[in-house]
A and B are shown apart, each in its own frame.
Chain A
Amino acid sequence: MSLPPFERFYEQHREEIFGFLVRRLGRDRAEDAFQETFLRALRAYPKLRHGEHLRAWAYTIASRIAIDEHRRPRADADLPELESLDGRPAFAQLEHLADQLPPTERTAVVLRYGYDLDYSDIGAALGSNATAARQAASAGIRRLRQKELR
């Protein structure tokens, strides 16, 4: 599938991405995060090679921004960090690890374990449902484990 004009991508995904950000951040902070999500998508858009998995891509960007937004006011508060031991955020490690997985499993694994999304949001990102998202995430994890054993 070829890459649609950005207007189409934006029209198709703006409402659900905004809904997702409102659930994660609350209405007020969701507005800034929304703008940042689609500006970031716009910057990266010409580098995409095809028009597949655009919804999952949009959710991944929105998730990353939601995490950044979450961190900001927490900087001086005594709250748990998402950083792992070597200092890299969990999603950065996972995205790299999950690179070899098929796209659906990769998205499910990254959104579940990298961004801590629940399965209904991941289902939305994949254009399916919570059950399918759970299956894709487990399949991805199984595949990663097998790779590790080899």
Chain B
Amino acid sequence: MNAVSPDLDRRFRDAAADEGLLDAAYDFVDSPVGPLLVATSKRGVCRISYDAEPERELERLAREFGVRVLRSAKPIDAARRELDEYFEGTRREFDLPLDVALVADFNRRVLRELARVPYGEVVTYGELAARSARPRAARAVGMVMNRNPLPIVLPCHRVIGANGKLTGYAGGLERKETLLRLEGAIL
């Protein structure tokens, strides 16, 4: 048989990453909220996607980070391990380097505040807006959450409506509920 064996394929993908030739590497991580597409740039984790359509994600990664996009398990090993630990309940904070260089200024400030919301706690959109020095920008904060490139790791699931309702989630409300239940924020 003259077919590329899985071992040869993996060796090439590892070598490409080891030699630092990739603009972005990605792979899929299994989780209780479905398979996650996780991508990393040279700077750090740059995308986590639910229900990813690989074709669109690849185009987007190529546009934002460069054409050398390749599926490769090795570069996302650290992210895979931390996500596994999070879903097993043994990790409360992520120590991964993150790449949010492409996120616009205000959005980045909001995401920075978001990163400080502790495990198992929730905050309202208005409160997060206030912490980001834009107290009346609750709606804008909602948009930032909606476009969060790194859900779970940047915990937009911990942001809820002023009335205590879960309100919305880019990955679907069911997932938001699962994550908050895992963290013990809701029963």
Contacts and interface: CB of A to CB of B under 8 A. Distances in A.
A5 B4 contact: no
A113 interface: no
B61 A5 contact: yes
A19 to B, nearest CB: 4
Nearest to A8: B58
Contact of B70 (A6, A27, A35, A46): A6
Interface of B: 2-4, 8-9, 11-12, 15-16, 19, 21-23, 58-59, 61-62, 66-71
Given A5-B61, A43-B21, 14 more contacts: A3-B67, A4-B67, A5-B59, A5-B62, A5-B69, A6-B70, A7-B58, A15-B3, A18-B4, A31-B8, A34-B12, A38-B12, A42-B70, A46-B66
For chain A, the bracket of interface size reads: 20 to 34
A34 B66 CA distance: 23
A126 to B, nearest CB: 20
A35 B12 CA distance: 6
Contacts, number: 60
27 contacts: A3-B67, A5-B61, A5-B62, A5-B67, A6-B22, A6-B68, A7-B69, A10-B70, A14-B4, A14-B9, A18-B2, A18-B8, A22-B2, A31-B8, A34-B4, A34-B8, A35-B11, A35-B15, A39-B19, A39-B21, A42-B16, A42-B21, A42-B22, A42-B70, A46-B23, A46-B66, A46-B68
Interface in A23-50: 23, 27, 31, 34-35, 38-39, 42-43, 45-46
A10 B66 CA distance: 16
Given A22-B2, A35-B15, A7 B70 contact: yes
Contacts of B62: 4-5
A4 to B, nearest CB: 8
